[in-house]
A and B are shown apart, each in its own frame.
Chain A
Amino acid sequence: MDTYLLYGLALAGLSVSFLKDKGKTRIALQKAWKAFEGILPQFLVVLTLVAATLAVLDTAFISRVLGASSGFLGILGASLVGAVTLIPGFIAFPAAASLMREGAGATQIAAFVSSLMMVGIVTLPMEIKFFGRRVSFLRNGLAWLFSLGAAFFVGWVVSL
C-alpha cells in the first residue's frame, strides 16, 4: 500500500513538473538516476546481507525467540533480533499479533517491533555512505537502547 502511495506521488510530481518545464524534468530524472547509481554498490552489499540474515533468522526462529523466552533476557533477545532483521511492517505486525495470542509478552513484542523499525544493522553500509560511521553507529546504538526503554513503557501501558 505504501508503494502505491509513493508511485502516486512520484507520478503526480513528474506530471506537474513536465507540464511546467520539460527541460527541468529531464534534469530531475538524470539526477534521480545519478543518485541511484551512486548508492548502488552499498545497495547490493545490503541485499546480500539481508538475504543471508533472513535465511538464518527466519520466521520460525524469530517466533522461538519471542515466544519462548521471558524476562529481561527475552526482551534483550527480541530487541537484538529486531535490530538485525529487515521485515516490512505489514508482515511483522500480523506475525507479532499471532505470537501475542499464543502468549508472548507485550514487552518482548514491543522490543522487537521498536528495534525492527529504528535499528538497521544490515542497512548500515547505506547509512554510513550518507551519514558517516560516527553518526550512523551513534544513531543505531541510541535507537537500540531506546527500543528497550520503549518496550518497558509499552509493556507497562498494555498491562494497566
Chain B
Amino acid sequence: MKAILKRYAGVLIAAAAFAAFLVLFPHWRGKALDSIGYQARTMLLVIPPIFILLGLLDVWVPRERMIRFMGTGSGLKGATLAFLLGSFAAGPLYGAFPFAAMLMKKGASFRNILIFIGAWSTTKIPMLLFEISALGARFALSRLAIDIAGIAIIAWAIQAASPKQEIERLYAEAEKID
C-alpha cells in the first residue's frame, strides 16, 4: 500500500494541481476538461498495441539477434535499421520511450537507440505524405532532409555528452523491465 502511494505521489500532486487550475481559471475550465478527455482517449487507444508489440518483441526476439542487428558492432547497417524502425513506427513520441527501453534491454547500442527515438519523433513515413499534401513538397522534403542530418547530429552529441556510467545506469534500468 505504502509502495503504491509512493509511486503515485506524483500523480496525486498533478491531480491536485490540475484541480486547482480548474478552480482558479474558470475561463479555461471547459477546454481543459475537453482536452483531458480527448487526450486520455487518444492515449488509451494508441498505447495497447505498442505495449503488445513490446511484449511480443521481448518474448520472441533473442538477445543475440538484437545485438547482431542493432548492437555496438552493427555499424551503418544497425543505424539504418534503427532509422527505418523509427520511421515506420506509428504513434506519438511518448510511445517510443518504452519501446526504446525494450530495445536497450535486448542489447541495441545507445547510438542506435538515439537514432530510433529521433526517427520516431520526426521522420514518419505515413506523416510525410500528409505533410506534402498540406504544406507542399518543398517544405516537407527539405524538412525531411535536414531532419535526417539532425537525427545523426543529435544522437552523436548526446552520446558524446553522456558519461559512460550514466549510460550503463540506463541499461541496468532497462534490464529490470520484465
Q: Which residues of B contact A132 (CB under 8 A)?
A: 166, 169-170, 173
**In the complex, chain B residues whose CB is within 8 Å of the CB of A52:** 18, 21, 28, 32
* Interface core residue of A6, A29, A114, A150 (most chain B CB under 10 Å): A6
SS class, residues of chain A in contact with chain B: helix
Q: Say whether A14 contacts B169, CB under 8 Å.
A: no
Task: Point out the residues of chain B lying under 8 angstroms from A150, CB to CB.
Answer: 143, 146-147, 150
CB–CB B122/A135 < 8 A = no
Contacts of B33 in A (CB 8 A): 51
Does B23 sit within 8 A of A, measured CB to CB? no
Residues of A within 8 A of B14 (CB): 44-45, 48-49
Mark contacts of B122-155 with chain A using CB atoms, 8 A cut-off: 1 yes-contact digit, 0 otherwise.
Answer: 1010110011001110110011001100100110
Determine whether A19 belongs to the interface, using a CB cutoff of 8 Å to chain B. no
Q: How far is the CA of A53 from the CA of B14 in the complex (A)?
A: 13
- Knowing A48-B17, A134-B166, A146-B153 are in contact, say whether A120-B93 is a contact too (CB < 8 A): yes
- The residue from A1, A41, A45, A97 contacting B135, defined by CB atoms under 8 A apart: A97
Task: Report Cα–Cα, A145/B42, bound state, in Å.
Answer: 29
Contact B91 A56 (CB under 8 A): no
CB–CB B11/A41 < 8 A: yes
Smallest Cβ-Cβ distance to B93: which chain A residue: A120
Interface size, B (range): 35 or more
Contact yes or no, B52 A32, CB < 8 A: yes
| Shortest CB distance B17–A (Å) | 7
B67 at the interface (CB under 8 A from A): no
Look across to chain B and name the residue whose beta carbon is closest to the beta carbon of A96. Answer: B135
Q: How far is the CA of A158 from the CA of B70 in the complex (A)?
A: 36
Asked whether any CB of chain B lies closer than 8 Å to the CB of A142, the reply is: yes
Instruction: Scan residues 15-69 of chain B and give those whose CB is less than 8 A from a CB of chain A.
Output: 15, 17-18, 21, 25, 28-29, 31-33, 35-36, 39-40, 42-43, 45-56, 58-60
> Chain A interface residue count: which class?
35 or more
Decide if B48 touches A10 in the complex (CB within 8 Å).
yes
Can you report 18 A-B residue pairs in the complex whose CB atoms are below 8 A from each other? A3-B49, A3-B90, A3-B91, A6-B91, A10-B56, A14-B52, A25-B59, A29-B52, A31-B58, A31-B59, A41-B11, A48-B18, A117-B122, A138-B161, A143-B154, A149-B150, A150-B150, A154-B142
A: residues with CB less than 8 A from B are: 1-3, 5-7, 9-11, 13-14, 17, 24-25, 27-36, 38-39, 41-52, 54-56, 58, 86, 88-90, 93-94, 96-97, 100, 106, 109-110, 113-114, 117-118, 120, 123, 125-127, 129-132, 134-135, 138-139, 142-143, 146, 149-150, 153-154, 157-158, 160
Residues of B within 8 A of A (CB): 7-8, 10-11, 14-15, 17-18, 21, 25, 28-29, 31-33, 35-36, 39-40, 42-43, 45-56, 58-60, 90-94, 97-98, 100-102, 114, 117-118, 121-122, 124, 126-127, 130-131, 134-136, 138-139, 142-143, 146-147, 150, 153-154, 157-158, 161-162, 166, 169-170, 173-174, 177-178
Query: Top 10 closest A-B pairs, CB basis?
Result: A32-B55, A51-B36, A10-B49, A2-B90, A55-B32, A157-B142, A28-B55, A93-B134, A55-B31, A6-B49
